[in-house]
Amino acid sequence: MKRTLLILTAAVIAMTSCGRKPKPPVAEKIPFVVESNGNERVDNYFWMRLSDEQKNAETPDSQAVKVLSWLDAENAYADAIMKHTVPLQEKLFEELKGRIKQDDETVPYLDNGFWYNTKYLPGKEYPVLYRRKDGTDKPEVMLDVNLLAEGHEYTGVGGASPSPDNNLLAYGTDHVSRRQYTLQFKDLNSGELLPDNILNTTGQAVWAADSKTLFYVSKDPETLRAATVMMHVLGTPSSDDRVVYNEGDETFSVQLGKTKSRKYITIVSDQTLTTEVRLIEAENPTGTVQVFEPRRVDHLYSVEHLNGTFYIHTNADGAKNFKLMSCPENKTGMASWKEVIPHRADVLLENFEVFDNYIVANERIKGLTNLRIISMADKSEHFLDFGEEAYTAGISVNPNANTTLLRYSYSSLTTPNSVYDYDMAAKTKTLLKQDSVLGGFDKNNYETKRLWATAADGTQVPVSLVYRKGFKQDGTAPLLLYAYGSYGSSTNPSFRSGIISLLDRGFVYAIAHIRGGSEMGRQWYEDGKLLKKINTFTDFNDCARFLINEKYSSAEHLYAMGGSAGGLLMGAVANIEPALYNGIIAQVPFVDVVSTMLDETIPLTTFEWDEWGDPRKQEYYDYMLSYSPYDQVKAQAYPNMLVTTGYWDSQVQYWEPAKWVAKLREMKTDDNILIMDVNMTAGHGGASGRFERLKTTALEYAFMLDLEGINE
C-alpha cells in the first residue's frame, strides 16, 4: 500500500505555510480494555494497530485510512519542525556518503574451488556478488542485487548459497521488508532462473551433496516464526515439498547450517534458554534425522564437525561462560563428551573455529574480545596482540580446514574495519584490507578511551568513548551515549564512519556496555533480563551521570540513542530520569512491552518470554508493567525526542512507537520537541540501499546538532 496524504496532513502543511509554528497532531482517544488473567488496562490508542490483511489490501478500509492519516500527519509535522534543518541534513548526507568508497569490494575468500567476493559499483545502492574460478583471473557475476531492486522501493537479499557442484545459486528476496523471503534459483552457467519459486521462507537454503536437493525453513504466515524445515527437489513443485522437521514448541524457532566438514546439515531449534541440534547427512538427504543431544531447559549448545570429531560449545554442568567439548562422530551423547577448553568464571567463550591442526577461541575478557590460538599437536597456545585500549576483533570467513591461515577482522573507535590473515604457525599477520574512509579522515586526529562507571549497586560498568583531539573536558561538550543491553548481545567499540560528522563538530561519542549484554560474561546478561531488567536502565543512567560528573558533558548537552530493544531502553530512561538528557533518539523502539508479550499472534512474541518474562504470570506482568515505556508515560517534562519506525517492521510493529508518541503528546508537560519519522516503505532495518539509509542518519544528527545551535 502506498503512503496516502490525507486531510490531517494537509492541515499541518497549511499551518506551516502560513508562518505559524506547526502544532503537533492530536490522536483521537478510543478506550480499549486489554485484559489478562483478571488484569485490566485501558489503551486509548489501540486503534492504531492494523492487521497484515489491512496493510496489504488494495483499497484501505476506514480504520486503515484513519491510521494512515495519523502516520502521514506525524511525518508532515516532523518535516515541518525540521524544515529549517534541511540544508544541514543535505550537507550531512553528502558528508556521510562522501566518506564511502563507491567502488568498494570485500576481500575474496576461497571456497570449493572458487574465490568469492562482493563489490559495490559507483552510484549503485546494492552489492554485486562475484566469483572467480581458482587459477583464473576472470571474475563472473553471480548476482547483481541492483537489477533485482529495479522497480521496488525496498529490496533485501538473504542466504546466497552456491550448490556443491558450483552450477547453481540459491538466494532469497524480500521486497516488503517483512523478512519473508522468496527462494529462487539461478543457473550460473546460463544465467537463467529456474522455474522453482518458494514463498514465505527465512531466505536461507542449505544444499545436500547431490546439488539438486535442498533444505529451507518456512515461516508461520501470521507470527512469522521460523518453524518448519522443508526439503525441496529442484524441478518439482513446491507443493510437493516434504516436511523434514516441524518445531511444535511455539517458544522455539529453527535455523539451518552445515558443518565445516560439509558432511552434516544441522537443524538448530533454539530459544533464549535452550538449544537442540539435529543432523542430516548431506550425502543422504532422505535419511534419518538424528538428534545430537536432546533438549533440556537451560542447556545451550552448538556443534561443529571436522575430521571425524564433533566439537560442542556448551554451558552444560554449570559452565555459565561456556566451555568447548568434543566427542566421536558415532557417540554424540553427553556422556561421551571430553573437555577441550574448560569453563572459566572470568572468561566468556563466545565462539570458536576449528582447523586440521588448530583451534581458535574467540573469548571475551574484561569486556574485550580476544583471539586465542591453540595447537592441536602440543596444546601450546598464544593470543593475538591488538595494541589498543578499546577495540573489537572477531573470526571472519574460514571455510577451509587444511591451512595455517586464520582470517580475522579488527577495528576500534578510531581504526576502520580491517581484514587480516594470520599465520598461526609462523605467528605473522598480513593486512589484506582496511576500509577506506574518504573525506580527509585521519585516525591520528581522534582519541579513544575505556572508562568504568560505578552503578548504584556498586557494579563497575565499562564505557568506551571517542572524541577529536583538542577536546576540553570541562562539561561543555555535547555527547551522544549509545547502548543496547538486551538478549546477551554485546555492543563492541568498533569503527563507525558516520560519527566522524559528530566528532568533527565537537561531540563526544560513548558506548555504555550495560547489563543485559554479555560484555562482562554470561552473568552480565543474566543480571539484565527478566526480573532484573531494571539494571539495564539504571546502568545507562548511571553511565550518563558518570560522564557528567567527569565533565565529559552536562545534562544540557547530553544525548541518548538506542534502537529496537535499545529503543525500549530509551523509553525507560526517559520515564525514570528525563532531566539527565537534552535529547533522546529512539530508533524502532520496543515500548509497548506488556501488550506485545501478551499477544501470541505478534511476530517474535512466544520465544521471547524467556527474555522479558511471560506476562500471563502475575509476577512478570507486574514487573514488566513497572518499566514498560508506554504504560509508564506520566505527566512530567521529557527531553527533546526523535522517534523512528518502519511501517512494515516485523520485529517491532509500527504501532508501538506510534501509540507511545501519541501518549507522550497527551501527557508531557514541556514544550520540548517530540517528532516521529515513519518510513512507509521499510521495516526494522530501515531503507535497504547503502546510501538511502544515510538520510535517516542525517536526520538524527541534524536533530542533535540543531539543539546544540550547530547549523553547518
Domains: count for the chain: 1
Entry pTM: 0.91
Number of Cβ within 10 Å of residue 5's Cβ equals 14
φ, ψ dihedrals at 469, nearest 5°: -60, 140
Kindly report, residue by residue over 156-197, the tens digit of the pLDDT.
Answer: 898 899 999 999 999 999 988 778 899 999 999 999 999 999
- Give the length of the chain: 712
Kindly report, residue by residue over 30-41, the tens digit of the pLDDT.
Answer: 999 999 888 999
Q: In the Cβ-directed half-sphere of 394, how many Cα atoms lie within 13 Å?
A: 12
**Does residue 465 fall inside a structural domain?**
yes
Amino acid 17: pLDDT: 40
Kindly report, residue by residue over 397-428, the tens digit of the pLDDT.
Answer: 999 999 999 999 999 999 999 999 999 999 99
Can you tell me the distance from the alpha carbon of 232 to that of 210, in angstroms, rounded to the nearest whole number? 12
Share of the chain above pLDDT 70, in %: 96
**Does residue 259 fall inside a structural domain?**
no
Asked if 196 is an active-site residue, the reply is no
Which candidate in 218, 554, 564, 595 is catalytic?
Answer: 564
Can you tell me the distance from the alpha carbon of 46 to that of 43, in angstroms, rounded to the nearest whole number? 6
Amino acid 604: pLDDT: 64
**Does residue 683 fall inside a structural domain?**
yes
Higher pLDDT, 603 or 377: 377
**Does residue 458 fall inside a structural domain?**
yes
Task: Say whether pLDDT at 119 is over 90.
Answer: yes
Kindly report, residue by residue over 441-489, the tens digit of the pLDDT.
Answer: 999 999 999 999 999 999 999 999 999 999 999 999 999 999 999 999 9
Q: How far is CA 224 from CA 82, 200, 254, in A?
A: 36, 9, 12
Can you tell me the distance from the alpha carbon of 515 to that of 538, in angstroms, rounded to the nearest whole number? 9
**Does residue 140 fall inside a structural domain?**
no
Amino acid 677: pLDDT: 96
Type of residue numbered 575 = N
Number of Cβ within 10 Å of residue 591's Cβ equals 29
Query: How many Å is the maximal CA-CA distance in the chain?
Result: 80
C-alpha cell at 269: 531449534
What does the pLDDT average to over 25-50?
Answer: 93
What does the pLDDT average to over 257-263?
Answer: 97
Asked if 210 is an active-site residue, the reply is no
Which of 8-22, 27-41, 237-251, 494-508 bottoms out in mean pLDDT, i.e. has the lowest?
Answer: 8-22
Can you tell me the distance from the alpha carbon of 148 to that of 496, in angstroms, rounded to the nearest whole number? 28
Task: Say whether pLDDT at 9 is over 80.
Answer: no
Q: In the Cβ-directed half-sphere of 325, how many Cα atoms lie within 13 Å?
A: 25
Can you tell me the distance from the alpha carbon of 691 to that of 147, in angstroms, rounded to the nearest whole number? 16
Three-class SS state of 622: helix
Kindly report, residue by residue over 274-302, the tens digit of the pLDDT.
Answer: 999 999 999 999 999 999 999 999 999 99
**Does residue 702 fall inside a structural domain?**
no
Task: Say whether pLDDT at 123 is over 70.
Answer: yes
Amino acid 317: pLDDT: 95
CATH code where residue 609 lies: 3.40.50.1820
Can you tell me the distance from the alpha carbon of 184 to that of 204, in angstroms, rounded to the nearest whole number? 11
Which candidate in 232, 313, 557, 684 is catalytic?
Answer: 684
The angle that helices 7-17 and 62-81 make with each other, rounded to 10 degrees, is 20
Q: What angle do CA 314, 317, 320 make, to 5 degrees?
A: 60
C-alpha cell at 26: 492530536
Three-class SS state of 362: strand
Higher pLDDT, 607 or 670: 670
Beta-strand pair 193-207/181-187? antiparallel
Asked if 564 is an active-site residue, the reply is yes
Kindly report, residue by residue over 625-651, the tens digit of the pLDDT.
Answer: 999 999 999 999 999 999 999 998 777
Kindly report, residue by residue over 568-624, the tens digit of the pLDDT.
Answer: 999 999 999 999 999 999 999 999 999 988 887 776 666 688 899 899 999 999 999
Q: How far is CA 647 from CA 56, 254, 594, in A?
A: 12, 26, 21
**Does residue 197 fall inside a structural domain?**
no
Residue 20: which pLDDT band, with cuts at 50, 70 and 90?
A: low
Which candidate in 542, 649, 677, 706 is catalytic?
Answer: 649
**Does residue 502 fall inside a structural domain?**
yes
| H helix or E strand, kind and range, residue 484 | none
Residue 18: which pLDDT band, with cuts at 50, 70 and 90?
A: very low
Amino acid 429: pLDDT: 95
C-alpha cell at 648: 512494515
Dihedral angle computed from the Cα positions of residues 308, 311, 317 and 322, in that order, rounded to the nearest 10 degrees: 170
Tell me which residue range forms the domain holding 565. 441-693
Three-class SS state of 605: coil
